[in-house]
Amino acid sequence: MITRIREVRRARKLTLQDVADRCEPPTTPQTIGRLETGTRTVSVGWLNRIAKALGVEAADLVTLPEREDVPVAAILDHEGAHAPRREGVAVPPRPAPDMVAILVQSSSGDYRSGDEIWLNRLAPEDYVSALNRDVLVPRPAGRYVFGRLIGREGTRIQILPLGAGGKQQVFDDPPWAAVAAKLIRSL
Protein backbone atom coordinates (compact mmCIF):
# COMPACT_ATOMS: atom_id res chain seq x y z
CA MET A 1 0.00 0.00 0.00
CA ILE A 2 1.37 3.41 -0.97
CA THR A 3 0.74 6.02 1.70
CA ARG A 4 0.69 9.80 1.54
CA ILE A 5 1.29 10.32 5.25
CA ARG A 6 4.39 12.47 4.66
CA GLU A 7 2.70 14.66 2.04
CA VAL A 8 -0.35 15.25 4.22
CA ARG A 9 1.81 15.92 7.31
CA ARG A 10 3.88 18.47 5.40
CA ALA A 11 0.75 20.08 3.94
CA ARG A 12 -0.50 20.52 7.52
CA LYS A 13 2.93 22.01 8.44
CA LEU A 14 3.47 19.46 11.22
CA THR A 15 6.68 17.78 12.33
CA LEU A 16 7.07 14.08 13.03
CA GLN A 17 7.07 14.99 16.74
CA ASP A 18 3.79 16.93 16.35
CA VAL A 19 2.05 13.94 14.78
CA ALA A 20 3.53 11.50 17.29
CA ASP A 21 2.27 13.65 20.19
CA ARG A 22 -1.22 14.00 18.66
CA CYS A 23 -1.66 10.25 18.20
CA GLU A 24 -3.86 8.48 20.75
CA PRO A 25 -2.04 6.96 22.53
CA PRO A 26 1.08 9.04 21.75
CA THR A 27 3.92 7.37 19.90
CA THR A 28 7.46 8.30 18.83
CA PRO A 29 8.51 10.44 15.87
CA GLN A 30 10.69 7.53 14.72
CA THR A 31 7.61 5.32 14.41
CA ILE A 32 5.79 7.96 12.35
CA GLY A 33 8.87 8.32 10.13
CA ARG A 34 9.04 4.56 9.55
CA LEU A 35 5.34 4.47 8.68
CA GLU A 36 5.82 7.37 6.24
CA THR A 37 8.77 5.77 4.45
CA GLY A 38 7.29 2.27 4.35
CA THR A 39 10.02 0.68 6.49
CA ARG A 40 7.21 -0.30 8.86
CA THR A 41 3.94 -1.79 7.64
CA VAL A 42 0.97 0.53 7.93
CA SER A 43 -2.06 -1.21 9.40
CA VAL A 44 -5.61 0.09 9.31
CA GLY A 45 -5.27 0.88 13.01
CA TRP A 46 -2.19 3.04 12.34
CA LEU A 47 -3.91 4.78 9.43
CA ASN A 48 -6.86 5.67 11.64
CA ARG A 49 -4.61 6.94 14.47
CA ILE A 50 -2.49 9.07 12.16
CA ALA A 51 -5.53 10.37 10.24
CA LYS A 52 -7.10 11.53 13.50
CA ALA A 53 -3.83 13.19 14.54
CA LEU A 54 -3.66 15.01 11.18
CA GLY A 55 -7.36 15.93 11.13
CA VAL A 56 -8.10 14.06 7.90
CA GLU A 57 -9.89 10.90 6.81
CA ALA A 58 -7.87 7.67 6.65
CA ALA A 59 -8.59 7.53 2.90
CA ASP A 60 -6.66 10.81 2.51
CA LEU A 61 -3.51 8.99 3.64
CA VAL A 62 -3.44 6.38 0.89
CA THR A 63 -3.09 6.62 -2.85
CA LEU A 64 -6.33 5.52 -4.47
CA PRO A 65 -6.41 4.90 -8.23
CA GLU A 66 -9.89 6.42 -8.67
CA ARG A 67 -9.00 9.68 -6.90
CA GLU A 68 -7.11 12.52 -8.53
CA ASP A 69 -4.59 14.28 -6.33
CA VAL A 70 -3.95 18.00 -6.64
CA PRO A 71 -0.16 18.40 -6.79
CA VAL A 72 1.38 21.51 -5.29
CA ALA A 73 2.93 23.36 -8.24
CA ALA A 74 4.22 26.44 -6.41
CA ILE A 75 4.64 28.10 -3.05
CA LEU A 76 3.65 31.76 -2.70
CA ASP A 77 5.49 33.87 -0.14
CA HIS A 78 6.88 37.39 0.30
CA GLU A 79 9.30 36.82 -2.60
CA GLY A 80 6.59 35.68 -5.01
CA ALA A 81 5.77 32.25 -6.43
CA HIS A 82 8.48 29.59 -6.55
CA ALA A 83 8.75 25.83 -6.96
CA PRO A 84 8.36 23.76 -3.80
CA ARG A 85 11.50 22.07 -2.46
CA ARG A 86 9.66 18.76 -2.20
CA GLU A 87 6.71 17.25 -4.01
CA GLY A 88 3.43 17.69 -2.19
CA VAL A 89 -0.30 17.46 -2.60
CA ALA A 90 -3.11 19.74 -1.50
CA VAL A 91 -5.40 18.07 1.02
CA PRO A 92 -9.07 18.89 0.41
CA PRO A 93 -11.04 20.17 3.40
CA ARG A 94 -13.05 17.59 5.30
CA PRO A 95 -15.87 18.31 7.72
CA ALA A 96 -15.19 17.53 11.36
CA PRO A 97 -17.86 16.29 13.76
CA ASP A 98 -20.23 19.04 14.92
CA MET A 99 -19.30 21.49 12.16
CA VAL A 100 -21.85 23.93 10.76
CA ALA A 101 -21.57 26.22 7.75
CA ILE A 102 -22.58 29.69 6.64
CA LEU A 103 -23.25 30.40 2.96
CA VAL A 104 -22.42 34.02 2.17
CA GLN A 105 -24.94 35.53 -0.28
CA SER A 106 -23.71 39.11 -0.17
CA SER A 107 -20.34 40.50 0.91
CA SER A 108 -19.96 41.33 4.59
CA GLY A 109 -16.72 42.27 6.31
CA ASP A 110 -13.91 40.09 4.99
CA TYR A 111 -16.33 37.63 3.40
CA ARG A 112 -17.43 37.71 -0.25
CA SER A 113 -20.56 36.56 -1.98
CA GLY A 114 -20.23 32.84 -2.74
CA ASP A 115 -17.96 32.06 0.23
CA GLU A 116 -18.62 29.14 2.54
CA ILE A 117 -17.55 29.56 6.14
CA TRP A 118 -17.11 26.29 8.02
CA LEU A 119 -17.38 26.61 11.78
CA ASN A 120 -16.62 24.35 14.73
CA ARG A 121 -19.36 24.26 17.36
CA LEU A 122 -18.22 25.09 20.89
CA ALA A 123 -19.69 24.31 24.26
CA PRO A 124 -20.16 27.33 26.57
CA GLU A 125 -17.08 26.44 28.62
CA ASP A 126 -14.94 26.66 25.45
CA TYR A 127 -16.04 30.15 24.32
CA VAL A 128 -12.84 31.69 25.64
CA SER A 129 -10.88 29.82 22.93
CA ALA A 130 -12.77 31.86 20.31
CA LEU A 131 -11.91 35.32 21.62
CA ASN A 132 -11.08 37.75 18.79
CA ARG A 133 -12.37 35.29 16.19
CA ASP A 134 -15.55 35.25 14.11
CA VAL A 135 -18.38 33.26 15.67
CA LEU A 136 -21.97 32.30 14.90
CA VAL A 137 -24.44 32.45 17.82
CA PRO A 138 -28.02 31.12 17.63
CA ARG A 139 -30.88 33.37 18.71
CA PRO A 140 -34.55 32.58 19.31
CA ALA A 141 -36.95 31.95 16.41
CA GLY A 142 -34.31 30.66 13.98
CA ARG A 143 -32.21 33.82 13.96
CA TYR A 144 -28.42 34.05 14.28
CA VAL A 145 -25.74 36.62 14.95
CA PHE A 146 -22.37 36.42 13.19
CA GLY A 147 -19.50 38.61 14.26
CA ARG A 148 -16.27 38.93 16.25
CA LEU A 149 -16.30 37.56 19.81
CA ILE A 150 -14.68 40.41 21.74
CA GLY A 151 -15.40 39.49 25.33
CA ARG A 152 -16.75 37.01 27.81
CA GLU A 153 -17.82 37.60 31.39
CA GLY A 154 -19.37 34.66 33.17
CA THR A 155 -22.24 33.45 30.99
CA ARG A 156 -22.36 36.68 28.93
CA ILE A 157 -20.54 37.13 25.63
CA GLN A 158 -20.00 40.29 23.58
CA ILE A 159 -20.15 40.16 19.78
CA LEU A 160 -19.06 42.94 17.43
CA PRO A 161 -20.99 42.60 14.13
CA LEU A 162 -19.06 42.55 10.86
CA GLY A 163 -18.55 45.72 8.86
CA ALA A 164 -17.92 49.31 9.84
CA GLY A 165 -20.10 51.05 12.42
CA GLY A 166 -21.47 47.90 14.03
CA LYS A 167 -22.57 48.20 17.65
CA GLN A 168 -21.53 45.62 20.22
CA GLN A 169 -24.24 43.12 21.17
CA VAL A 170 -24.34 41.23 24.46
CA PHE A 171 -25.87 37.76 24.79
CA ASP A 172 -26.51 35.92 28.02
CA ASP A 173 -25.90 32.17 28.08
CA PRO A 174 -26.30 31.14 24.42
CA PRO A 175 -26.73 27.34 24.09
CA TRP A 176 -23.72 27.12 21.76
CA ALA A 177 -21.48 29.16 19.55
CA ALA A 178 -19.46 28.13 16.50
CA VAL A 179 -16.06 29.57 15.64
CA ALA A 180 -14.98 30.10 12.01
CA ALA A 181 -12.44 27.40 11.09
CA LYS A 182 -12.29 27.22 7.29
CA LEU A 183 -13.05 29.60 4.46
CA ILE A 184 -14.00 27.94 1.17
CA ARG A 185 -13.77 30.46 -1.67
CA SER A 186 -14.01 30.04 -5.41
CA LEU A 187 -12.17 32.59 -7.47
| Ramachandran class of 104: left when φ > 0, alpha when ψ lies in -120 to 50, beta otherwise | beta
pTM of the entire structure?
A: 0.64
Structure confidence by residue, pLDDT tens digits, 32-86: 999 998 889 899 999 999 999 998 888 888 876 666 778 889 989 899 999 988 8
pLDDT-derived band at 98, boundaries 50, 70, 90: confident
Greater model confidence, 87 or 139: 139
The Cα 95–Cα 91 span in angstroms is: 12
pLDDT-derived band at 110, boundaries 50, 70, 90: confident
With b meaning 16 or more CB within 10 Å and e meaning fewer, what string describes 130-166? beeebbbbeeeeeeebbbbbeeeeeeebbbbbeeeee
Please give the backbone phi and psi of residue 170, each rounded to the nearest 5 degrees, phi first: -115, 135
Structure confidence by residue, pLDDT tens digits, 118-170: 999 998 888 989 999 999 999 888 899 999 999 998 889 999 988 778 889 99
Alpha carbon distances (Å) from 49 to 18, 23, 45, 186: 13, 6, 6, 32
What's the DSSP call for residue 25?
Answer: S
Distance of CA 41 to the CA centre of its chain: 29
- Specify the pLDDT at position 133: 95
| Residues ≥6 apart with Cβ < 8 Å to 176 | 121, 122, 123, 124, 138
Total residues belonging to the chain: 187
Q: Are 123 and 135 in contact (CB under 8 A)?
A: no
Q: Are 169 and 157 in contact (CB under 8 A)?
A: no
- Burial class for 36, CB neighbours closer than 10 Å (0-12, 13-18, 19+): buried
- Specify the pLDDT at position 149: 95
